[in-house]
Amino acid sequence: MALVTGNEILQHAKQNGYAVCAFNVENMEMVQAVVEAAEETDSPVIIQTSANTVKYANMDYYYAMVEAALKHAKVPVALHLDHGDSTELALQAIRAGYTSVMIDASKLSFEENIKQTKAVVDLCQPIGVSTEAELGNVGGKPGDEDFGASGYTKPLEAKEFIERTCVSSLAVAIGTAHGVYKGEPNLDLTLLDELSKTVDVPLVLHGASGLSENDVKQCIENGISKINYATELRIMFTESVKEYFDTETSFVDPKKFMEYARTKVKELAKEKMYTCGSNGKASTFH
């Protein structure tokens, strides 16, 4: 099956009351794991590479791996640039064949965020590539400032932002954080519900790694249509490799431990798909 746009999947999720899992991948084995998980659960899925990941291997590599994985797949898959930080990077993704891009100018002023987001939307919209932006302060990355509740997304600002940029989807700040949580996340579900009722585009939750199953389900009930998973997959892959090294001492073939890690990542991806309610939805996708 050919790649579809992020917006096609997100609109289907929004209309059918589930959230699509968006998994950040780092290598071929993680691509295989995510696509196999989607096939086995009949789930639409979004595969993502971050701005940092594509510095390790350029977007042509990741596009080629996803394209190869989809040759015999029957589920809808979008390929998305996560946390793109410039128009130039968005353009690289478009040229590589990505069907969705994120421009993250959330650390800038409201007006500058609008300006940079609109520039990327103007590139993507005419050729049917989906766009995601972020408004508010999710934080959690090294060097990120913690604004607390004052950095949460404001509904009226979100409405204005979407009207002025025409962005396809919006990542919102409601109390999650990127990376590993240092304490218990405190989600503002009332704010999320208000955001969902104020804007008409699909809402995205960043920083979901480490949230409980109940937290995730409540976020979906209150309007989230896309949930990003990155840190949990990286931890699972790395810990699985370590585990294999601890239990197997006489091997020289790297495929052995990579296959073991791939299986573990696939199991985790399937678990997240069931939590997000995307299982069984691919067959209803038109």
Please give the Cα distance from 96 to 89 (Å, whole number): 11
Query: What is the total residue count of the chain?
Result: 286
Closest CA to 188 of 161, 213, 156, 219: 219
Is the CB of residue 73 less than 8 Å from the CB of residue 38? yes
Is 272 in contact with 229 (CB distance < 8 Å)?
yes
According to DSSP, residue 126 is labeled G
Residue 82 falls in the annotated catalytic set: yes
| Catalytic-labelled residue, pool 82, 104, 188, 215 | 82
198, 223 contact by CB (below 8 A): no
Contact yes or no for 6/100 (Cβ under 8 A): yes
Q: Is 139 strand, coil or helix? A: coil
Catalytic residue positions?
Answer: 82
